[in-house]
Amino acid sequence: MKKNKMGFLNLTMIGVGLFLILSCEGPPGPPGADGADGVNIVGDVFEIVGTFNAQGNFGIYDEFGFEVLESDKVLIYRLDGVDDDLDVWRLLPQIVFHQNGIFNYSFDFTLVDYTVFIEGNFDLTTLGPEWTEDQVFRVLVVPADFINARLDLADHDAMIKLLGVDTKDIPRIMLN
Protein backbone atom coordinates (compact mmCIF):
# COMPACT_ATOMS: atom_id res chain seq x y z
CA MET A 1 0.00 0.00 0.00
CA LYS A 2 1.35 3.34 -1.07
CA LYS A 3 1.00 6.33 1.29
CA ASN A 4 0.54 9.86 -0.02
CA LYS A 5 3.13 11.88 1.91
CA MET A 6 2.50 15.03 -0.15
CA GLY A 7 -1.22 15.04 0.74
CA PHE A 8 -0.43 14.81 4.45
CA LEU A 9 2.16 17.56 4.12
CA ASN A 10 -0.30 19.84 2.28
CA LEU A 11 -3.00 19.31 4.91
CA THR A 12 -0.51 20.03 7.68
CA MET A 13 0.61 23.26 6.00
CA ILE A 14 -3.01 24.37 5.46
CA GLY A 15 -3.81 23.69 9.12
CA VAL A 16 -0.77 25.65 10.32
CA GLY A 17 -1.62 28.50 7.94
CA LEU A 18 -5.20 28.70 9.22
CA PHE A 19 -3.98 28.65 12.81
CA LEU A 20 -1.62 31.56 12.13
CA ILE A 21 -4.25 33.61 10.30
CA LEU A 22 -6.91 33.08 12.96
CA SER A 23 -4.56 33.87 15.82
CA CYS A 24 -3.34 37.15 14.34
CA GLU A 25 -4.42 40.45 15.73
CA GLY A 26 -4.67 43.58 13.62
CA PRO A 27 -3.76 47.14 14.50
CA PRO A 28 -5.95 48.93 17.06
CA GLY A 29 -8.95 50.82 15.68
CA PRO A 30 -9.60 54.53 16.01
CA PRO A 31 -10.29 55.85 19.51
CA GLY A 32 -13.94 55.87 20.63
CA ALA A 33 -15.98 58.85 21.70
CA ASP A 34 -14.94 60.56 24.92
CA GLY A 35 -17.05 59.60 27.90
CA ALA A 36 -16.94 58.49 31.47
CA ASP A 37 -16.74 54.85 32.43
CA GLY A 38 -19.97 53.53 33.90
CA VAL A 39 -22.15 56.34 32.53
CA ASN A 40 -25.18 55.27 30.53
CA ILE A 41 -26.68 57.48 27.86
CA VAL A 42 -30.40 57.62 28.57
CA GLY A 43 -33.31 59.36 26.95
CA ASP A 44 -35.40 62.01 28.60
CA VAL A 45 -39.11 61.47 29.18
CA PHE A 46 -41.63 63.94 30.56
CA GLU A 47 -45.32 64.78 30.29
CA ILE A 48 -46.93 68.09 29.46
CA VAL A 49 -50.49 69.21 30.01
CA GLY A 50 -51.84 72.11 28.00
CA THR A 51 -54.89 73.70 26.44
CA PHE A 52 -55.27 74.60 22.78
CA ASN A 53 -57.01 77.88 22.00
CA ALA A 54 -57.15 80.62 19.38
CA GLN A 55 -55.02 82.97 21.54
CA GLY A 56 -52.18 80.45 21.42
CA ASN A 57 -52.75 79.77 17.72
CA PHE A 58 -53.85 76.25 18.78
CA GLY A 59 -50.33 75.42 19.86
CA ILE A 60 -48.52 74.51 23.07
CA TYR A 61 -44.92 75.70 23.19
CA ASP A 62 -42.11 75.03 25.64
CA GLU A 63 -38.34 74.64 25.84
CA PHE A 64 -36.68 71.30 26.61
CA GLY A 65 -34.48 72.66 29.40
CA PHE A 66 -31.74 70.13 28.63
CA GLU A 67 -29.41 69.34 25.76
CA VAL A 68 -30.97 67.66 22.73
CA LEU A 69 -28.49 66.34 20.17
CA GLU A 70 -29.00 66.54 16.41
CA SER A 71 -28.93 62.76 16.28
CA ASP A 72 -31.69 62.36 18.91
CA LYS A 73 -35.20 61.37 17.90
CA VAL A 74 -38.08 63.27 19.51
CA LEU A 75 -41.35 61.36 19.83
CA ILE A 76 -44.56 62.79 21.27
CA TYR A 77 -47.57 60.70 22.27
CA ARG A 78 -51.06 61.96 23.16
CA LEU A 79 -53.04 60.39 26.00
CA ASP A 80 -56.06 59.24 24.00
CA GLY A 81 -58.01 57.61 26.81
CA VAL A 82 -57.96 54.81 29.35
CA ASP A 83 -58.81 51.17 28.64
CA ASP A 84 -59.08 48.67 31.52
CA ASP A 85 -57.20 51.11 33.79
CA LEU A 86 -54.35 51.36 31.24
CA ASP A 87 -53.43 54.62 29.54
CA VAL A 88 -53.80 54.60 25.75
CA TRP A 89 -51.00 56.61 24.08
CA ARG A 90 -51.03 57.52 20.38
CA LEU A 91 -47.95 58.68 18.50
CA LEU A 92 -48.20 62.09 16.83
CA PRO A 93 -49.14 63.07 14.27
CA GLN A 94 -52.61 61.78 15.08
CA ILE A 95 -55.40 62.32 12.56
CA VAL A 96 -58.93 62.74 13.94
CA PHE A 97 -62.07 62.39 11.83
CA HIS A 98 -64.44 64.81 13.52
CA GLN A 99 -68.07 65.64 12.69
CA ASN A 100 -66.90 69.11 11.52
CA GLY A 101 -64.09 67.76 9.31
CA ILE A 102 -60.58 66.43 9.75
CA PHE A 103 -57.97 67.74 12.17
CA ASN A 104 -54.72 66.46 13.55
CA TYR A 105 -52.45 66.79 16.54
CA SER A 106 -48.88 67.27 15.39
CA PHE A 107 -45.59 68.74 16.58
CA ASP A 108 -42.30 70.23 15.56
CA PHE A 109 -39.09 70.78 17.44
CA THR A 110 -35.64 72.30 17.37
CA LEU A 111 -32.68 71.39 19.55
CA VAL A 112 -33.99 73.90 22.10
CA ASP A 113 -37.80 73.82 22.03
CA TYR A 114 -40.91 72.07 20.77
CA THR A 115 -44.48 72.93 19.82
CA VAL A 116 -47.49 70.62 19.87
CA PHE A 117 -50.31 71.99 17.73
CA ILE A 118 -53.68 71.28 16.16
CA GLU A 119 -54.42 71.96 12.51
CA GLY A 120 -57.58 71.16 10.58
CA ASN A 121 -59.80 71.90 7.62
CA PHE A 122 -62.49 73.69 9.66
CA ASP A 123 -62.79 76.37 12.35
CA LEU A 124 -60.92 74.86 15.31
CA THR A 125 -62.79 77.11 17.78
CA THR A 126 -65.77 74.78 17.23
CA LEU A 127 -63.90 71.86 18.85
CA GLY A 128 -65.25 70.77 22.21
CA PRO A 129 -63.15 70.86 25.38
CA GLU A 130 -62.50 67.10 25.19
CA TRP A 131 -60.21 67.86 22.23
CA THR A 132 -58.61 71.10 23.43
CA GLU A 133 -58.54 71.44 27.23
CA ASP A 134 -56.01 69.84 29.56
CA GLN A 135 -54.57 67.59 26.87
CA VAL A 136 -51.79 65.29 28.12
CA PHE A 137 -48.75 64.52 25.99
CA ARG A 138 -45.71 62.40 26.74
CA VAL A 139 -42.44 63.60 25.20
CA LEU A 140 -39.63 61.10 24.62
CA VAL A 141 -36.17 62.21 23.54
CA VAL A 142 -34.55 59.01 22.30
CA PRO A 143 -30.77 58.81 21.73
CA ALA A 144 -29.85 57.73 18.20
CA ASP A 145 -28.04 54.69 19.63
CA PHE A 146 -31.46 53.21 20.50
CA ILE A 147 -33.07 53.71 17.09
CA ASN A 148 -33.06 50.92 14.53
CA ALA A 149 -35.19 49.99 11.53
CA ARG A 150 -37.02 47.20 13.35
CA LEU A 151 -38.18 49.42 16.21
CA ASP A 152 -41.92 50.23 16.27
CA LEU A 153 -41.92 53.88 17.31
CA ALA A 154 -45.71 53.84 17.63
CA ASP A 155 -45.48 51.23 20.42
CA HIS A 156 -45.35 53.56 23.41
CA ASP A 157 -44.86 50.80 25.98
CA ALA A 158 -41.94 49.30 24.05
CA MET A 159 -40.28 52.71 23.78
CA ILE A 160 -40.66 53.35 27.53
CA LYS A 161 -39.22 49.90 28.24
CA LEU A 162 -36.34 50.52 25.81
CA LEU A 163 -35.45 53.72 27.67
CA GLY A 164 -35.67 51.94 31.02
CA VAL A 165 -38.17 54.44 32.41
CA ASP A 166 -40.54 53.71 35.28
CA THR A 167 -43.78 55.51 34.40
CA LYS A 168 -44.39 56.57 38.01
CA ASP A 169 -41.17 58.61 37.84
CA ILE A 170 -42.13 60.64 34.74
CA PRO A 171 -42.41 64.33 35.65
CA ARG A 172 -45.52 66.26 34.55
CA ILE A 173 -45.33 69.91 33.46
CA MET A 174 -48.43 72.11 33.38
CA LEU A 175 -48.32 74.57 30.45
CA ASN A 176 -50.61 77.47 29.40
Distance set, CA 64 to CA 89, 131, 141, 176 (Å): 21, 24, 10, 15
pLDDT the model gives residue 142: 92
The yes-or-no verdict on residue 125 having pLDDT over 60 is yes
CB contact at 8 A, 92 and 77: yes
Strand, helix or coil at 33? coil
pTM given for the model: 0.74
Average pLDDT value for the chain:
83
The yes-or-no verdict on residue 2 having pLDDT over 60 is no
Q: Is-cis flag, bond preceding 93, omega within 30? A: yes
Q: What is the C-alpha to C-alpha distance for residues 35 and 39, in angstroms, rounded to an integer?
A: 8
Question: Which domains can be identified in the chain, with CATH numbers?
Answer: 44-174 (2.60.40)
pLDDT tens figures, 30-78: 443 443 344 345 679 999 999 999 999 999 999 999 999 999 999 999 9
